[in-house]
Amino acid sequence: MAEEKKTNAAPAKAVTAVKKDDTKPGFFKRVAKWFREMKSELKKVVWPTGKQLFNNTLVSVVVMVVSAIVLWGFDMLASGLVHALINIAG
C-alpha cells in the first residue's frame, strides 16, 4: 500500500520575454528633454501681478527689518549682561 505522489503542477507554459531597451538616451537628448519639460511646467505657473509683487516684497522687507531690530536688542541685552558679570567678577 504504497502511496503515490500526486503532483498537480500544471505543465509549464512557454514564456516569451520582452526585452526593454535599457540604454540611456544621450546627454544632449536628456538636456533637450529637460528643457522641454521645464518649458511646459513654466506655462502652468500663475505669475503675480505688479501690485502683488510689490506687496509681497514690502511685507518681506518689513519682517526682515523687525527681525533685525529684535535680534539687535537681544544682542545688546546679552552683551550688557556679560559685561556686568565680568565687572562683578573682576
Angle (nearest 5°) at CA 9 between 5 and 11: 125
- Asked whether residue 73 is domain-assigned, the answer is yes
- Asked whether residue 77 is domain-assigned, the answer is yes
Q: Taking all residues of the chain, what is their mean pLDDT, rounded to a whole number?
A: 87
Angle (nearest 5°) at CA 88 between 83 and 89: 100
The predicted-structure confidence for 23-54, as pLDDT tens digits, reads as follows: 888 999 999 999 999 999 999 999 999 999 99
Average pLDDT of the segment spanning 59-72: 98
- Asked whether residue 37 is domain-assigned, the answer is no
Number of domains forming the structure of the chain: 1
- Asked whether residue 5 is domain-assigned, the answer is no
Quote the pLDDT of residue 2. 60
Domain of residue 62 covers 47-90
- Asked whether residue 41 is domain-assigned, the answer is no
- Asked whether residue 14 is domain-assigned, the answer is no
